[in-house]
């Protein structure tokens, strides 16, 4: 196993090169370049295939359920360890797999559009990395284009991809901003997330009413008061 990936801040560096979507090799290189410009989730690269991960998690989850005193011979529980393993690898933690990074579509800003573009109320589902319980909320994402604009659904997919990891909300917010800033080649990006944490709802304080808000404002969204206020107004509107 390699050492845990060192933390680094994203920055607008080399431009994202043109990619032939029919070439898996070119796509893989482009995805690596994007993710290299996003602050990392703490990970080690263990070399396991997805199927190997499923088998190992299945075995471990059998141990957990038996330790809890559950009867795995019961027909309702028998397949639970493998169901959980497949869910972890293929679904709720699929954002750990670079191969699952969404296909990106950007186009030249021929319109010379220089105003704010905002996508509101994006479903934002993740898992708290401290207790492996859900984080459930909504994201508002905005940017001011430079030379490129992005297909609107791709913003939703970026939020979903980074949400599909064990997370803390602060890192998730910044990963989304890092990614869009690099792909679009603009410093003017803003992300706001408002979410309920089930590690607060279901355990500890057991507070069902509270929510957590985080924001990452860059470029004009941070330095120009009128741009900041316009974006935050979108965050308050549902």
Angle (CA) 196 174 169, round 5°: 20
Sign for the pseudo-dihedral over CA of 71, 76, 80, 82: positive
Single out the catalytic residue among 160, 167, 169, 181. 169
Has 181 been annotated as catalytic?
A: no
Has 199 been annotated as catalytic?
A: yes
Number of other CB atoms surrounding residue 22 within 10 Å: 7
Has 187 been annotated as catalytic?
A: no
Has 179 been annotated as catalytic?
A: no
Measured CA to CA in angstroms, residue 7 lies from 38, 78, 164, 178 at distances of: 10, 41, 19, 13
What's the length of the chain?
238
Tokens of 202: 């279901």
Q: What is the DSSP letter of 10?
A: -
Strands 166-167 and 117-128: parallel
Single out the catalytic residue among 128, 192, 220, 234. 128
Residue 192 backbone dihedrals phi, psi, to 5 degrees: -130, 130
Has 128 been annotated as catalytic?
A: yes
> What is the C-alpha to C-alpha distance for residues 114 and 101, in angstroms, rounded to an integer?
28
Single out the catalytic residue among 130, 170, 229, 233. 130
Residues near 43 by beta carbon (within 8 Å), at least 6 away in sequence: 4, 5, 96
Single out the catalytic residue among 26, 33, 55, 129. 129
Catalytic residues: 128-131, 169, 197, 199
């Amino acid at each position: 196993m390699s050492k845990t990936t060192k933390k680094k801040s994203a920055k607008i560096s080399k431009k994202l090169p043109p990619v032939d979507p029919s070439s898996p090799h070119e796509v893989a290189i482009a995805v690596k370049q994007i993710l290299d410009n996003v602050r990392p989730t703490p990970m080690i690269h263990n070399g396991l295939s997805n199927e190997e991960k499923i088998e190992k998690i299945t075995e471990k989850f059998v141990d957990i359920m038996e330790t809890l005193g559950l009867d795995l011979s019961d027909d309702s529980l028998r397949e639970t360890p493998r169901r959980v393993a497949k869910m972890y690898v293929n679904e709720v933690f699929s954002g750990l797999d670079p191969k699952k990074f969404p296909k990106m579509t950007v186009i030249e800003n021929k319109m010379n559009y220089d105003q704010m573009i905002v996508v509101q109320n994006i479903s934002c589902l993740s898992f708290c990395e401290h207790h492996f319980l859900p984080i459930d909320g909504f994201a508002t994402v905005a940017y001011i284009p430079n030379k490129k604009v992005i297909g609107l659904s791709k913003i939703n997919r970026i939020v979903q991809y980074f949400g599909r990891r064990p997370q803390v909300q602060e890192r998730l917010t910044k990963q989304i901003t890092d990614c869009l800033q690099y792909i679009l080649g603009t410093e003017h990006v803003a992300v706001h997330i408002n979410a309920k944490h089930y590690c607060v709802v279901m355990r500890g304080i057991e507070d069902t009413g509270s929510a957590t808000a985080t924001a990452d404002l860059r470029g004009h969204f941070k330095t120009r008061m009128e741009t900041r206020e316009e974006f935050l107004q979108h965050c308050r509107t549902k």
